[in-house]
C-alpha cells in the first residue's frame, strides 16, 4: 500500500507542479488586489489630512506599503519574515527564530510525551479487553470535544503551583497529540488479519513475539498517519498555550502582542513562521515514514 | 488519608468488576458495552472527588466534581448565554458558511482537472497548518462580536471539507460513469445522481472533522477579544479570577456541545449514506 501511495504521490507531484504554481500565483495576485480596498481608506484619510493629491497608481502603491495596514501585502510579510529570521541575530527578542525555537521546544517535548503515552496506552488496549472496553469509547469521544478549552486552566494551575515555562505548554501539546496517536495506533495494532495471527499461532509464537514481529510492524503506516496529525495538533497546542497568560516569548506571544498593538505585519509574519514550522514538522515525519517503510520493505 | 485509601479501594473493585464484565460471556451485549466505559468514567470522577478532599488539595487549584456540578447547576443562565453566543452564533453560522463554500468550490474544482491538480495539494497543505493563528487578524477585521468568530470558523472548516469532497467526487468507478454515459446522462445529471451520492461518505468524513474544528475556532478566537459573553471569554476571564469551577463548568458545556454536534452530523450521515458498507450493522 505504501509503495503505491509513494509512487502515486511522486507522480502526482510531477504532474501537479505547474497547476500548483499557477494556483499559488493566483492566490498571491488576489492578495495584492485585496490589499487595495482593504487599505485605501487609510491612504485616503492620510491624504485628506495632508491635503495633497495622488494619482491612482500612487494611491495603489501606497496601499501596498503602509506601516500598519489592515492587510499587509505579500512582499511586506516576506520582507518582515526575512528581516526577523535571516537578517536578525537569533538571540534578539524580535527574531522569529528565537520565538520559534521556544514554541518548537514545547511542541517537541509535548509531542514526545503524548506519542509515548499514546503508544503505551494503545498497546494496553490491544492486549486487555477490559481496558479496551473502558478506555476506548472515551478516547473516541474526546476527539469530538474542543479539549483546547482547558489550555488556559492548565497554564494557570501549573503556574500557581510553581511550574512555568516550557512544561505547561508541553502538557497541552501532549494532550492534543495523545488521542490521535491512541486511536491510530489501536487501529494499526489490530490491522493484521486473522489469517496472519493464526499463522503465528501455528508457529507457536508467544504473545510478545507476535507483538514485535507482526502487530508492531503492521501498525507503522497507521502510526505515521497519526503522527502527522499529532505533530500539527501539538504545534497548535503550544501556540494556544502561549495565549492566555500573556506570555512574552513564543510564536503565540508574537500573535498576541501583534494583535494588542495593531502590528499586522508582525501577526502575519508570525503566522507564516508557524505555518512553515508546521509544514517542516510534517515533512520531517513524512521523510522518516518513507525511510522506515522502505527499510521494512513496504515502500519501494 | 482515609478518603484516599477509599478511593484506591473503589478503583480496585471497579477495575476488577470491569475485567470480570469484559471477559464474561455477555461481553458482546449492548448493555455491557455501555456499562463498562460508564463504570470507568464514574470511577474516575469518584476518585477525583475523594482524592481532592482526602489530600486537601486547594479547591481553587482543582475543584472536585461535586463543586463543578453545583456551579454548573447554579449558573445555567450564564452558560446558556455563552453557548448561544459561541456555538449557535459563532461556530454554527461559520460552519454552515464554510462547509457550503467548500462544497461549491469542490464541485467547481472537480470539473476542471487543472484546478484539481493545483488546488488539492495547496488545500492539503493548508489543512495541516495552525489556522487558529488567523484569529487575531480576523478579529481585527470583523470586530469583537460573533461575526469574527464565524469568520475564523469558516477558514478552519473550509480546507478539510474541500479536500474530502474533492476526493469523494472522484470515488466512482469507470464502469459506473460509463453506465451513466450509456444512459445519455448530462454532466449535471451524472453529478447529482451518481457522483454526489457516491461522495457522501467522504463529505461526511470532512464534515465530522469540521465539527470539532468549528468549536475550537470559535473558542480560541474569543481569547483575542470578544463582547462580555461567550465560552472562550468566560474561560479566559474566569481563569484570570481563579474561578476554576466556572472554567470546568464551561468545559463541560464545550464537551456536551462538541459531542452532540458530532453526534448530530453522524446521525445525518447514517440517514444519507445508509447504503454504504460502513453503516451496515
The pLDDT tens digits of the residues spanning B108-163 come to: 988 888 888 888 888 877 877 788 888 888 888 888 888 899 999 999 999 889 98
Q: Identify the residue whose cell numbers are 489490530.
A: A190
The ipTM, to two decimals, is 0.78
- Higher-confidence residue of A73 and A299: namely A73
Chain B residues touching residue A19 (CB < 8 angstroms): 114-119
Which of A21, A127, A146 to mutate: most B Cβ within 10 Å? A146
Domain residue ranges in chain A = 2-71, 96-295
Question: Are A200 and A213 in contact, with CB atoms under 8 Å apart?
Answer: yes
The yes/no answer on whether domain A96-295 falls in CATH 3.10.20.30 is no
- Percent of chain A exceeding pLDDT 70 equals 93
Q: Please indicate whether, in this complex, the C-beta atoms of A130 and B33 are within 8 angstroms of each other.
A: no
A299 pLDDT more than 60: no
Q: Please indicate whether, in this complex, the C-beta atoms of B262 and A144 are within 8 angstroms of each other.
A: yes
pLDDT tens for each residue of A214-233: 888 888 888 988 898 889 88
B residues 225-244 lying closer than 8 A (beta carbon) to A: 225, 231-232, 235-236, 239-240, 242, 244
User: B267: Cβ–Cβ under 8 A, 6 or more apart, which residues?
Assistant: none
Report how far residue B76's alpha carbon sits from residue B254's, in angstroms, rounded to the nearest whole number: 13
Question: Are B234 and B72 in contact, with CB atoms under 8 Å apart?
Answer: no
Ramachandran category for residue B3: left, alpha or beta (phi over 0 → left; psi -120 to 50 → alpha): alpha
Q: Give the model's pLDDT for residue A285.
A: 92
A7 pLDDT more than 60: no
B residues 248-277 lying closer than 8 A (beta carbon) to A: 248, 250-251, 254-255, 258-259, 261-263
pLDDT tens for each residue of B55-72: 888 888 888 899 999 999
Chain center to CA of A262: 25
DSSP labels, A213-227: IIIHHHHHHHHHHHH
Q: Please indicate whether, in this complex, the C-beta atoms of A240 and B211 are within 8 angstroms of each other.
A: no
Give the phi and the psi of residue B193 in degrees, each rounded to 5: -90, -25
Q: What is the mean pLDDT of chain B?
A: 87
- Could you tell me the pTM of the whole model? 0.83
- Higher-confidence residue of B107 and A246: namely B107
Q: Give the model's pLDDT for residue A1.
A: 38
User: A123: Cβ–Cβ under 8 A, 6 or more apart, which residues?
Assistant: A185, A189, A211
Please state the rounded mean pLDDT for residues A62-67. 78
Q: Give the model's pLDDT for residue B103.
A: 94
* Cβ neighbour number for residue B4 with a 10 Å cutoff: 15
pLDDT tens for each residue of A130-185: 888 888 888 888 877 777 788 888 888 888 787 777 888 898 899 888 888 998 89
Ranking A12-16, A240-244, B233-237, B263-267 by mean pLDDT, the lowest is: A12-16
The grid cell for B158 is 473550509
Helix axes B146-169, B113-127, angle to 10 degrees: 130
Q: Give the model's pLDDT for residue A300.
A: 46
Q: How confident is the model at residue A10 (pLDDT cuts 50, 70, 90)?
A: low
Q: What is the mean pLDDT of chain A?
A: 83
Q: How confident is the model at residue A246 (pLDDT cuts 50, 70, 90)?
A: low
DSSP labels, B3-43: HHHHHHHHHHHHHHHHHHHHHSTTTTSHHHHHHHHHHHHHH
Task: Report the SS3 class of residue B145.
Answer: coil
Report how far residue A180's alpha carbon sits from residue A118's, in angstroms, rounded to the nearest whole number: 8
For residue A53, the 8-state DSSP code is -
The grid cell for A170 is 508541553
Report how far residue A84's alpha carbon sits from residue A65's, in angstroms, rounded to the nearest whole number: 18
pLDDT tens for each residue of B81-91: 999 998 999 89
Amino acid at each position: 500500500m505504501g509503495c503505491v501511495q509513494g509512487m502515486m504521490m511522486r507522480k502526482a507531484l510531477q504532474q501537479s507542479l505547474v497547476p500548483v504554481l499557477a494556483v499559488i500565483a493566483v492566490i498571491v495576485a488576489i492578495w495584492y488586489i485585496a490589499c487595495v480596498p482593504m487599505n485605501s481608506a487609510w491612504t485616503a484619510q492620510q491624504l485628506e489630512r495632508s491635503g495633497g493629491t495622488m494619482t491612482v497608481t500612487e494611491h495603489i502603491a501606497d496601499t501596498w506599503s503602509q506601516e500598519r495596514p489592515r492587510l499587509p501585502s505579500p512582499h511586506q510579510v516576506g520582507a518582515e519574515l526575512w528581516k526577523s529570521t535571516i537578517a536578525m541575530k537569533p538571540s534578539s527578542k524580535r527574531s522569529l527564530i528565537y520565538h520559534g525555537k521556544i514554541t518548537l521546544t514545547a511542541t517537541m517535548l509535548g509531542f514526545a510525551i503524548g506519542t509515548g503515552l499514546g503508544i503505551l496506552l494503545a498497546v494496553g488496549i490491544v492486549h486487555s479487553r477490559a481496558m479496551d472496553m473502558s478506555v476506548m469509547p472515551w478516547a473516541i469521544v474526546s476527539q469530538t470535544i474542543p479539549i483546547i478549552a482547558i489550555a488556559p486552566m492548565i497554564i494557570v494551575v501549573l503556574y500557581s503551583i510553581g511550574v512555568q515555562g516550557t512544561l505547561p505548554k508541553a502538557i497541552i501539546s501532549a494532550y492534543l497529540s495523545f488521542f490521535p496517536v491512541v486511536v491510530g495506533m489501536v487501529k494499526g495494532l489490530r490491522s493484521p488479519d486473522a489469517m496472519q495471527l493464526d499463522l503465528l499461532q501455528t508457529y507457536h509464537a508467544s504473545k510478545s513475539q507476535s507483538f514485535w514481529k507482526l502487530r508492531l510492524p503492521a501498525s507503522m503506516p497507521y502510526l505515521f498517519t497519526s503522527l502527522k496529525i499529532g505533530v500539527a495538533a501539538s504545534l497548535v497546542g503550544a501556540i494556544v498555550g502561549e495565549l492566555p497568560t500573556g506570555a512574552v516569548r513564543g510564536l503565540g506571544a508574537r500573535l498576541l502582542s501583534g494583535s494588542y498593538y495593531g502590528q499586522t505585519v508582525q501577526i502575519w509574519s508570525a503566522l507564516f513562521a508557524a505555518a512553515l514550522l508546521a509544514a517542516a514538522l510534517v515533512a520531517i515525519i513524512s521523510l522518516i515514514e518513507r525511510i522506515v517503510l522502505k527499510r521494512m520493505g513496504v515502500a519501494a | 488519608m482515609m478518603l484516599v485509601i477509599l478511593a484506591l479501594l473503589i478503583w480496585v473493585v471497579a477495575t476488577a468488576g470491569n475485567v470480570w464484565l469484559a471477559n464474561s460471556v455477555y461481553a458482546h451485549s449492548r448493555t455491557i458495552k455501555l456499562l463498562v466505559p460508564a463504570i470507568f468514567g464514574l470511577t474516575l470522577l469518584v476518585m477525583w472527588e475523594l482524592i481532592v478532599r482526602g489530600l486537601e488539595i486547594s479547591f481553587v487549584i482543582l475543584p472536585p466534581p461535586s463543586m463543578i456540578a453545583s456551579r454548573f447547576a447554579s449558573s445555567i443562565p450564564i452558560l446558556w448565554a455563552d453557548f448561544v453566543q459561541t456555538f449557535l452564533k459563532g461556530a454554527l453560522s461559520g460552519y454552515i458558511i464554510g462547509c457550503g463554500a467548500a462544497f461549491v468550490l469542490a464541485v467547481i474544482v472537480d470539473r476542471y482537472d487543472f484546478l484539481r491538480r493545483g488546488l488539492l495539494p495547496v488545500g492539503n497543505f493548508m489543512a495541516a497548518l495552525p489556522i487558529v493563528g488567523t484569529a487575531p487578524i480576523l478579529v481585527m477585521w470583523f470586530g469583537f462580536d460573533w461575526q469574527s468568530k464565524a469568520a475564523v470558523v469558516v477558514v478552519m472548516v473550509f480546507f478539510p471539507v474541500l479536500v474530502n469532497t474533492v476526493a469523494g467526487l472522484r470515488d466512482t468507478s469507470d464502469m459506473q460513469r460509463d453506465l451513466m454515459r450509456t444512459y445519455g446522462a448530462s454532466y449535471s445529471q451524472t453529478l447529482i445522481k451518481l457522483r454526489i451520492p457516491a461522495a457522501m461518505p467522504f463529505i461526511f468524513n470532512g464534515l465530522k472533522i469540521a465539527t470539532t474544528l468549528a468549536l475550537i475556532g470559535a473558542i480560541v478566537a474569543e481569547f483575542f477579544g470578544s463582547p462580555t459573553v461567550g465560552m472562550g471569554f468566560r474561560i479566559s476571564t474566569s481563569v484570570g479570577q481563579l474561578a476554576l469551577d466556572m472554567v470546568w463548568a464551561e468545559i463541560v458545556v464545550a464537551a456536551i456541545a462538541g459531542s452532540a454536534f458530532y453526534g448530530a452530523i453522524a446521525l445525518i450521515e447514517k440517514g444519507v449514506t445508509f447504503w454504504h458498507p460502513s453503516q451496515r450493522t
